[in-house]
Amino acid sequence: MQRIYLDNVATTSVSNEVLTEMLPVFCESFGNPNSLHSIGRDAQSLIDKARDRVANCINAQRGEIYFTSGGTESNNWALIGLAMANKSRGNHIITSQIEHHSILDTCKKLEKLGFEVTYLPVDKTGLVDIASLLHYINQKTILVSIMSANNEVGTIQNLKTIAKICQEKNVLFHTDAVQAVGNFRIDVKDLGVDAMSFSAHKIHGPKGVGALYVKKGVKIEEYLTGGEQERGKRGGTLNTAGIVGFGKACEIVSSNYTVDCKKLKYLRDYFISKVESEIENIKINGHLHQRIANLVSISFKYVDGEALMYLLDMAGICVSTGSACSSGKHEISHVLIAMGLTPEEAQSTVRFSFGVDNTREEIDFVVSQLKKSVEKLRQISPLKVTKNKV
Ligand code: PLP
């Protein structure tokens, strides 16, 4: 059976160009980048090249990029490292209610260590309330961490406004850009962020590798001790093949993103218009315009999202009910609840996320299967009442 992959926000396939650059690293340039001999130096020069590519992609300098094992580690490190290095200035951190768990759970950990954390509300489109941000920043605030784009509904935050407020109040600003890099052009200098997390596997690079950008001059405590790698801040032998792949993926993103985004927007809008014309009682979640190109979150009234996901899976269509990380936990989405959806609406939600390889014909097939599956589930739904729209 042919399978159609519409879960590109969870992860993407490694592109051929990325794989081609990675393969020789495993058996030829396999040396430890810290070794002084020629095979070690080969690996080190590949890492240098990758660091430049990753830095160029976000308009950073190479010395501002630290390689990590991915978005989760970058987020953990950013919050803990910045909080610890700046604790003499205060103990208050601000984040939002719709962050990824790698931010929220780290904030909970910091609360146990004596930090105070404010979780800002969002409006029904998923935008952080700027008035609340201004209200809660105080003399003790040292760090604001707000994601660039949400992984469940795609809403893009008003990053420049938030960065400007943080600059004026002399507070550090970190953003989780895992879903943003590759989706729209990110220029860390222009945005005015102090730290930023991103990850390779969301942009057709390998899993298990990512980066933390830390602006020159910003103090951050080291994360992994026991080695001088990453300028003494993150010990451990570097994952050369992964980093090489990440570098290539960043280079591709930098040169292709305008064309890719145009295609993704076309597929997304085509999908939305077809679903809206063929299926009743639905609600599209997130901001209508200020959102990433490849994601659509839809609540289907009287339908259990998980059951819908499994029916689509049986038809060869891979989608997800929420964020990949929490979908295994059977939890109601904290993002959708923060945006004001009822628990029933949240549980009736499915996320469709497109990739550049998807086609219009695939979308036609997906919508026909979706229509059938939704009708089937509504027929057996105990919640079904025939009238009113969501
Ligand atoms: N932040 C966001 C917004 C994400 O969507 C994800 C992964 O889905 C992460 C962080 C974690 O990234 P990684 O899978 O590289 O650890």
Find, among 371, 49, 54, 379, the residue nearest to 196 by Cα.
54
Residues 6 or more apart in contact with residue 97 via CB below 8 angstroms: 119, 120, 121, 122, 334, 338
Confidence (pLDDT) at 324: 46
Tokens, residue 19: 């794989």
Is the CB of residue 105 below 6 angstroms from any atom belonging to ligand 1? no
Find, among 145, 166, 141, 163, the residue nearest to 89 by Cα.
141
Tokens, residue 116: 């105070």
**248 C-alpha vs ligand 1 centroid, how far in Å?**
19
- From the candidates 27, 107, 261, 325, which is the catalytic residue? 325
State the alpha helices, DSSP H only, in 116-206. 130-136, 159-168, 188-191
Q: With b meaning 16 or more CB within 10 Å and e meaning fewer, what string describes 159-191?
A: beebbebbeeeebbbbbbbbbbbbbebbebeeb
Are 96 and 155 in contact by the 8 Å Cβ rule? The answer is no
Are 230 and 222 in contact by the 8 Å Cβ rule? The answer is no
Confidence (pLDDT) at 166: 98
Confidence (pLDDT) at 387: 45
Cα(281)–Cα(383) distance, integer angstroms: 13
Q: In what order do the strands lie in the sheet with 282-285?
A: 282-285, 295-300, 349-353
Cα(197)–Cα(72) distance, integer angstroms: 8
Is the CB of residue 174 below 6 angstroms from any atom belonging to ligand 1? no
Go through the chain and tell me how many residues it has. Answer: 390
The DSSP annotation for 209-229 comes to -EEEEE-TT-----SB-SS-T
Find, among 171, 164, 180, 157, the residue nearest to 71 by Cα.
180
Beta strand residue intervals within the chain, DSSP E: 4-5, 65-68, 92-96, 116-120, 141-145, 172-176, 195-199, 210-214, 282-285, 295-300, 317-318, 349-353
**Residue 250 annotated among the catalytic residues of the structure:** no
Are 100 and 114 in contact by the 8 Å Cβ rule? The answer is no
What are the phi and psi torsion angles at 262 (to 5°)? -60, -45
**312 C-alpha vs ligand 1 centroid, how far in Å?**
24
Confidence (pLDDT) at 385: 53
Taking the CB of residue 284, how many other CB atoms lie within 10 A of it? 14
Task: Report helix, strand or coil for 349.
Answer: strand
Are 239 and 209 in contact by the 8 Å Cβ rule? The answer is yes
Cα(202)–Cα(210) distance, integer angstroms: 10
**148 C-alpha vs ligand 1 centroid, how far in Å?**
12
Confidence (pLDDT) at 325: 47
**72 C-alpha vs ligand 1 centroid, how far in Å?**
6
Is the CB of residue 205 below 6 angstroms from any atom belonging to ligand 1? no
Is the CB of residue 31 below 6 angstroms from any atom belonging to ligand 1? no
Are 248 and 21 in contact by the 8 Å Cβ rule? The answer is yes
User: Angle 284-199-336 (CA atoms, 0-180°, nearest 5)?
Assistant: 25
Stretches where the chain sits below pLDDT 70 are: 322-330, 384-390
Confidence (pLDDT) at 337: 97
Confidence (pLDDT) at 81: 98
| Average pLDDT over the chain, rounded to an integer | 95
